[in-house]
Structure 1
């Protein structure tokens, strides 16, 4: 085994569950189209946290898809990275951008009050390309035990999310998992 001094700086974590996650998302009919209820959920998440941007994010092997999205000007799509022509603008982002892939792989909430305080995260492309300075996200772990994606909020200013923010994002993730479960069972 050789020593790699840059290993701790890996920006995008390896995700062994991605193929199984894709199968589960297809079963649920999620991850490829906007879901109006998830847009409503993102709007409520932004309101509760006071964040200007909120997302319901599903992650596959290559990309992240925001099935729920709230931006300060709801009629103005936020550009979160290059999107293929078929994708709705602002709804798709490369898997190596942002912090949600870390949340899904770790299966734990992540609060970054100022991403620049964390060398591992400060080098993420969203910092320079979009100006993201703070992030808070929690995994969406369904009843099968699969981490499907995340709910998250971001800001272009540092934010003191604190313990209350952590508890809020975790409880909102649990609330959305229940909503997904109800969708799956048609209730």
Structure 2
């Protein structure tokens, strides 16, 4: 068995990995969703977000794999990080001198096929991979390799956003009144959720809150922002060329597209915001406690994820985004976001525009 050598920048790479404070952390829906999408696109039973520590590989998210970690010496991903500029593909591990006598090949889980797209940090360090695995030899199509590479970038975006969030939390903890403010905010949030629960109306097709529920939530967010000084962001999302989908494929297919998009928005913003169907093919998103740049990254992730939906036809979205400004009324926010949406459409669609 060919044991993987450490990269030449191993110590700096390990320091970069630890800066994310993610090893041995609890599961997170965002990472789990990307693993499920990768496995579905590549039509394989196993996939993972694997991070390479000094002596082990640890799975931040996994599908079809029992163990939470394995030793580094037997790790396919430890080989993959040695070429961070390209996906490592092993079509048949029994025919590859590096892996033919690997315990993971000879015993459970009986790996035959492996493809790993490196997770490269902003500083250029390969932290691990987003990988897909099968018990049968196989080859991936070009579009599957492209999708795996795109999803690996989304995993890296989640890691970077997580690191930024951690840095902000550390700064807040240095402030003497942080704990008191946090408790006060939690109380207000619980009260706001209780109020909204009584008034929420649900769109029957998508299961999302409807326009009325969003209007209530937006007014509440403005009141809170005026009192506390905390910011938030609002986005308007529109399905590109949706009329063509209805005209060419029928309204049932159009409804299927709206339902799939709604499921994606639910997964992305559950517990940390609100997505609602505003009308037709138009959706609105409320992102409390989020800067405009953080909101833009979230919207870019949504936009790219829509392009990866397995719908059988090309689907894209345009998104207009704006942040709260002191003195804004609900109509002010919506008009700016809507104007940004039309700018995104004028500039070619399938993009995020800020206003």
In which range does the TM-score fall when normalised by the shorter chain?
0.7 to 0.9
How many matched pairs?
163
| Inter-partner Cα distance in structure 1 for 2:13 and 2:6 | 14
Match in the other structure for 1:61 = 54
- Corresponding residue SS for 1:41: helix
Kept after mapping to 2: 8 A contact 1:116/1:133: yes
Cα displacement (A) at 1:96:
1.1
Is 1:168 matched with 2:147? Answer: yes
Cα displacement (A) at 1:26:
2.1
Q: Paired residue for 1:137, among 97, 116, 119?
A: 116
Q: Paired residue for 2:75, among 85, 98, 108?
A: 98
The runs of 5 or more residues in structure 2 that have no matched partner are 166-293, 295-355
Larger radius of gyration: 2
Check 1:18–1:60 CA distance in 2 against 1; reply closer, same or farther (3 A cut).
farther
Match in the other structure for 1:31 = 23
- Corresponding residue SS for 1:69: strand
Kept after mapping to 1: 8 A contact 2:2/2:97: no
Cα displacement (A) at 1:65:
0.3
Q: Which structure has more RCO (C-alpha within 8 Å, separation ≥ 6)?
A: 1
Is 1:44 matched with 2:21? Answer: no
Q: Which deviates further from its counterpart, 120-129 or 152-161?
A: 120-129
Check 1:173–1:147 CA distance in 2 against 1; reply closer, same or farther (3 A cut).
same
* 1:48-69 Cα distance to aligned partner (Å, 9 max, x none): 2111111001111100000111
RMSD: 1.8
| Inter-partner Cα distance in structure 1 for 2:144 and 2:91 | 10
| Inter-partner Cα distance in structure 1 for 2:50 and 2:74 | 12
Which structure has the highest helix share of the two? Answer: 2
- Corresponding residue SS for 2:156: helix
- Corresponding residue SS for 2:35: helix
Match in the other structure for 1:110 = 88
Kept after mapping to 1: 8 A contact 2:41/2:144: no
| Inter-partner Cα distance in structure 2 for 1:105 and 1:181 | 21
Kept after mapping to 2: 8 A contact 1:55/1:68: yes
- Corresponding residue SS for 2:19: helix
- Corresponding residue SS for 2:40: helix
Kept after mapping to 2: 8 A contact 1:19/1:60: no
| Inter-partner Cα distance in structure 2 for 1:31 and 1:39 | 15
- Corresponding residue SS for 1:13: coil
Cα displacement (A) at 1:94:
0.4
| Inter-partner Cα distance in structure 2 for 1:29 and 1:154 | 26
